[in-house]
């Protein structure tokens, strides 16, 4: 977390008061098991903005059992 704060503070005024819960439209949940990120709230806001709240959902093209591989280096994610 400190590394991320340092990277962001190079370009932005950053203040961390407590545990990160939301960032750039993403909801973030942290636990001992890891970090979960979702954009549900952002998507709901975008659907409302476009008057599409009643639109029908479709399945994602990514199969739910697809194996996703971790980045080789943590820095690769932060420098992206």
pLDDT tens per residue, range 3-56: 777 787 888 877 777 777 777 778 888 888 888 888 888 888 889 999 998 988
Domain of residue 35 covers 18-53
- d(CA 38, CA 29) in angstroms, rounded, equals 9
Domain annotation covers residue 72: no
Closest CA to 60 of 52, 68, 49: 68
Would residue 73 count as lying in a domain? no
Residue 13 placed within a domain: no
DSSP state of 34: E
Q: How many domains does the chain have?
A: 1
8 Å CB contact between 62 and 49? no
Place of tokens 């991320």: 4
Six-digit token string for 16: 């961390």
pTM of the shown model: 0.42
- Consecutive H or E run containing 30: strand 26-31
């Amino acid at each position: 977390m400190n590394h991320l704060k340092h990277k962001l503070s190079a370009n932005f005024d950053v203040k961390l008061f407590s545990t990160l819960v939301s960032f750039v439209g993403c909801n973030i949940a942290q636990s001992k098991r890891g970090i979960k990120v979702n954009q549900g709230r952002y998507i709901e806001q975008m659907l409302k903005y476009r008057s599409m709240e009643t639109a029908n959902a479709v399945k994602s093209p990514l199969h739910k059992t697809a194996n996703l591989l971790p980045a080789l280096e943590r820095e690769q994610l932060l420098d992206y």
